Structure 1
Amino acid sequence: MNHFSVGQTYFPPKTNHVTKAAPQATNGSSNLFQQYLTESLAQTAKGKGLTFSQHAANRMRERGISLETSQIERLESAVQKAASKGAKESLIMMDNVAYVVSIVNRKIITAVDDGSMKENVFTNIDSAIFV
């Protein structure tokens, strides 16, 4: 059985023929979707760990920024606080590094060290957290 994550891009296979309309979902497949939805929401409510966008991973590697377990825990705590206040996109300042984080997706979008921060403008954020 293939798994599909919310937010995951899906590209259906290309075909040269016209397909017929799918029959109405049976009660069994409806129950399967409901179970998947319930499990996904429960996982989100528990608080899955932070993830890094490809851009953030590249910037961190280029700028020599590394995170230890205790620092990741501090970032996760800041994300939880921002989420509890209703934030969606936050700037988190920690140990002279600025992290732009999607609170909703729990994803670090980019990271800027203090040497690269001069004259930098952070846009599309609705909150700032100093850790």
Structure 2
Amino acid sequence: MSMEISRVYDPALTAQNIVSQKKEQDAALFSKVLDEKKQSVKLSNHARKRLTARDLHLHNDDYQQISNALTELEQKGSKESLLLYKDMGLIANIHNRTIITAMNMQEINTVTNIDSTKFIK
């Protein structure tokens, strides 16, 4: 005589697994969005106006280069930095990942209230 173990269908257990999987997916999505947000670069209204007035342009690939520079500066403990990029100077708040002003290279004579400078190639 063989003993057969029968599996009992438990709808509550199945629903619990679905809820658990959904929570895991939501947590992963939230983590991804948070990581993307941490890597994003923001422009202050002042910086937007300065870029427009000086006919300076930033494209999508520029933002990635700037983001990488901000990450490096943050790891080194910088707070306010002058980023020298292409034909412009950008002053950034490192903690907020925000470009707060922009200038062309001819305007960079004296820059104050920064603790670092980064040349972005």
TM-score range, shorter chain: 0.5 to 0.7
Q: Which amino acid aligns with 1:103?
A: I
- Could you tell me the TM-score, scaled by structure 1's length? 0.62
- Could you tell me the TM-score, scaled by structure 2's length? 0.67
Measure, in 1, the Cα distance between the counterparts of 2:60 and 2:84. Answer: 17
Residue 49 of structure 1 deviates from its aligned partner by 0.9
Residue 123 of structure 1 deviates from its aligned partner by 1.0
Moved over 2 A (4+): 42-46
Determine the structure 2 residue equivalent to 1:3.
none
Task: Give the CA RMSD over aligned residues.
Answer: 2.2
Residue 116 of structure 1 deviates from its aligned partner by 2.8
Correspondence for 2:67 among 65, 76, 79 = 76
Of structures 1 and 2, the larger Rg is shown by 2
Looking at secondary structure, tell me which structure has more helix per residue. 2
| Alignment pair present for 1:125 and 2:114 | yes
Deviations 1:51-103 (A, max 9, x none): 11111111000000111111111000000000010111111101021100000
Q: Which runs of 5+ in 2 are unaligned?
A: 1-29
